[in-house]
Amino acid sequence: MGYLRDFKSQFKLKNFINYIVIALLTALFGTLSCVGVLEMSTQVLFEKFAYTLIMAVSLSLVVGFLGELSLGHAAFMSIGAYLGGYFQTYVIGDLNGNMPLLGIIIAMIVGGLAAGVFGFIIGLPALKLKGDYLAIVTLAFGEIVKTVFTNSETFGAATGLKTYRYSMDTLFIIGFVALLVILAVIQNLIKSRYGREITAVRDNEIAAKSMGVNVTRIKIFVFTLSAVFAGVAGAIFSNSQFNFKSSTFDYNYSIDLLVMVVLGGMGSLNGSMIAAIVITVLKTELTFILPGNLAALQNVAFALILILVVVFNNSPKFKPIREKAFGWARGLTEKLWSKIPHKNGDKGESDKGDHADWTEIPSKIKMDALLSTDMLPPDIVGAPEKTDKGEKQ
């Protein structure tokens, strides 16, 4: 009973709005699709949404919450797609023919587990390496996986793997259900004790370690979990294709995913998902509209946006503008939020409960300010964290 009461008092529409939106859209478009009103191109677009959104949230877990850069996330997806798709089509082909729903679920489990094993393996170097070096290992891993699949005769080598194509009418519904489950897992994880440990590692690894956080375990755990989700996305992808090649999952695809996470805002799942939808729509639509070489214009635009967003968010020159803009935006959202009637008098303010609100995890700067013990103002050259750079063993 106590749990139920807690749940009631902590229930805020704001925290569940993404589930509700996704569930409603899935129900609406799912019904339309089953009735047969939905166009084929829309169905394909929704399939794309499903696996791209799963990839975006799973990468967001590593980049946004753990704070490690992964440049080979597409490799986990390719492992899921190849192994899941292969298992579904060639190992349990008969079962899959009779019951495709069971087939795709098994494919997702197999793909997810296979990718998870590799995520665990990639998580191991993460113990010794960090930052740039770890990013390179993930990049190298992505290239290795691509090369191995391209050369493997079992998986169709250069011509690609032929896999089972799931019914177009219902595949995206399954994809969105998988997305909902994954989203629930991630959001609850982030809110839990482990989530706080993950963000503590991101904000200051040494401080987290000294507080008793097992950094090793947390890093491996996040890498593995994120790889499992990417593997599930891969299995959905393989079901949306008749035939696919390993070159689909190249470095550029990993970068596209990274762009989604960065544009959406690091540490914001909803932001990543919105950015993923916007980018997928733009990529799909612009390819039709722009002729020939101008199609590259979309990539130019993405690259520019990426650079501008990062520079705007980090440059000291833009600090006054940034604060003004963010203050204005926050004021506006709070005003809008207070217009919506709430059951339990929630004014959109953060409550004083002891659970961490996953949308408001303190940024790195705030945490550093909280933890720093230095007496110098941060802009003075030679602030404490910089002075020990020249030290050697």
Catalog residues that contact other proteins under the rule CB under 8 A.
Answer: 63, 67, 69, 71, 125, 128-129, 131-133, 135-137, 139-141, 143-144, 147-148, 150-151, 206-207, 251-252, 255, 258-259, 262, 292-294, 296-297, 299-300, 302-304, 306-307, 310-311, 313-318, 364, 381-382, 386-393
Q: Which is nearer to other proteins, 22 or 276 (CB)?
A: 276
* Smallest separation (angstroms) from other proteins to the CB of 366: 13
Contacts of 62 (CB under 8 A, 6+ apart): 68, 70, 73, 222, 223, 226
Token couple for 378: 């941060």
CA separation for the pair 341, 346 (Å, rounded): 9
**Which is nearer to other proteins, 96 or 138 (by Cβ)?**
138
Helix (H) or strand (E) holding 167: none
Minimum CB distance to other proteins, residue 128 (Å): 5
SS3 297: helix
Closer residue to other proteins in complex, CB, 175/267: 267
Of the pair 335, 386, the CB lying nearest other proteins is at 386
CB-nearer residue toward other proteins: 291 or 341: 291
Would you give the DSSP letter of residue 316? G
Amino acid at 228: V
Report the nearest approach of other proteins to the CB of residue 267 (Å). 12
Nearer to other proteins, 148 or 177 (CB): 148
Under a CB-based contact definition with an 8 Å cutoff, are residues 183 and 270 in contact?
Answer: no
Rounded to a whole number of angstroms, the minimum distance from the CB of residue 269 to other proteins is 18
The CA distance from 290 to 277, in Å, is 19
Contacts of 292 (CB under 8 A, 6+ apart): none
Show the tokens assigned to 80: 């899921």
Minimum Å gap between C-beta 125 and other proteins is 6
Which residues have C-beta within 8 Å of that of residue 173, sequence separation ≥ 6? 26, 30, 33
Measuring CA to CA, which residue among 145, 84, 70 is closest to residue 114?
84
Read off the tokens for 143. Answer: 């290239």
Tokens of 1: 């009973």
The CA-atom distances, in angstroms, between 332 and each of 313, 329, 336, 345 are: 20, 5, 6, 19
Report CA-CA distances (Å) from 167 to 28, 42, 43, 100: 18, 14, 10, 9
* Cα 25 to the center of its chain, rounded Å: 20
- Minimum CB separation of residue 262 from other proteins in Å reads 6
The answer for 348, left when phi > 0, alpha when psi is -120 to 50, beta otherwise, is: left
Instruction: Tell me how far, at minimum, the Cβ of 174 lies from other proteins, in Å.
Output: 33
Rounded least distance, CB 296 to other proteins, Å: 4
Nearer to other proteins, 27 or 370 (CB): 370
Q: How far apart are alpha carbons 328 and 277 in whole angstroms?
A: 25
Q: Which is nearer to other proteins, 236 or 262 (CB)?
A: 262
The Cα 65–Cα 220 span in angstroms is 14
